[in-house]
Amino acid sequence: MSLVTSEKDNGMGIITFNNPPKGFLTSEMIAETIPMIEDLDNDDSIKTIIFTGGMPGVFIKHFSVEEILAMSEVAKERRKKGLYETRHTRTPLRMFWENIDNMKKPTIAAINGYCGGGGCELALACDIRIAEKGDYTIGQMEILVGIIPGAGGTTRLARLVGPGKALEWVLRGRTFYPEEAKEEGLVHHIVQKNVLDEAKKIASEFLDKPPLALQSIKQVIKNSWNKSTQESVDEEGDLFANLITNDDQAIEMMEEYIKDGHNFDKF
């Protein structure tokens, strides 16, 4: 089974993430998804793109902590050898979230289950977030394994809900059930049953609207802040890379999280 699938359905592009049993995002999945994103964004017959999870109860739980630890080892070795380092936020892996944020067409995160870390950052990079009712959680909980968001979670969250809320949530690793996420402004709508069906209903509203007008709306709103998203994300990426390279406690916390069976307490 492919870890990521892409389909075209009556003017809608749908990208679905599958990675049983845990539902983590991996670099392999990102490599699969990047050409799919490019294809959908450049296909004039596609008017909007939906991202969702293929596993019951899981959108994307988070990015693989095992892979972050492996990144840490590679980064440490490169620094020991004095090798030039590509800025973390500009690496091909890291640009995945930027590519979603910068898509010309409206994007919808159809959150069908656990959505944390890199998965929450993917949802934040989308224009519209809708969540299926359930007892799963949504949020940026990276501090619980000793690190910070590394794919835009601090900046995009602050711009969505305000710096005060974002600061508390990221500092504490707070996560939210769907109804709480709606109340706090983290998602736009709660869906009682099939979230993908509701995402398609919203997506259908864009099918008869001028693509250039939709693109212009996205551009003017996203560029309306004094500091660009990219500048803030660059800073975040540098801090993330520094943590996984130099902070022994962060490494220990990630290793303990893996040993504990990938379980987070809800805060």
**Strands 128-132 and 107-111: what pairing?**
parallel
Q: So what's the pLDDT on residue 99?
A: 94
Q: What is the DSSP string of 20-88?
A: TTTT-B-HHHHHHHHHHHHHHHH-TT--EEEEEESBTEEEE--B-HHHHHHHHHHHHHHHHTT-----G
Q: So what's the pLDDT on residue 227?
A: 72
Q: So what's the pLDDT on residue 3?
A: 94
- Residue ranges in the chain whose pLDDT is less than 70: 1, 83-90, 226
Q: So what's the pLDDT on residue 228?
A: 77
Q: So what's the pLDDT on residue 239?
A: 84
142 is catalytic: yes
> Tokens representing 13?
């592009």
Distance in angstroms (rounded) separating the CA atoms of residues 230 and 251: 27
Nearest one of 141, 2, 112 to 51, comparing CA atoms: 112
Q: So what's the pLDDT on residue 84?
A: 63
Q: Which of 38, 98, 142, 231 is catalytic?
A: 142
Compute the C-alpha angle 223/229/230, nearest 5°: 115
Q: Where does 4-259 sit in CATH, by number?
A: 3.90.226.10
CA distances from 234 to 27, 106, 142, 237, 241 (A): 19, 24, 18, 5, 11
Q: Which of 121, 132, 198, 236 is catalytic?
A: 121
Ramachandran area for residue 96 (φ above 0: left; ψ -120 to 50: alpha; else beta)? alpha
8 Å CB contact between 105 and 41: yes
Residue boundaries of the structural domains of the chain: 4-259
Distance in angstroms (rounded) separating the CA atoms of residues 169 and 132: 22
> Tokens representing 156?
């995009």
Q: So what's the pLDDT on residue 222?
A: 84
Q: So what's the pLDDT on residue 75?
A: 75
Q: So what's the pLDDT on residue 34?
A: 95
28 is catalytic: no
pTM: 0.88
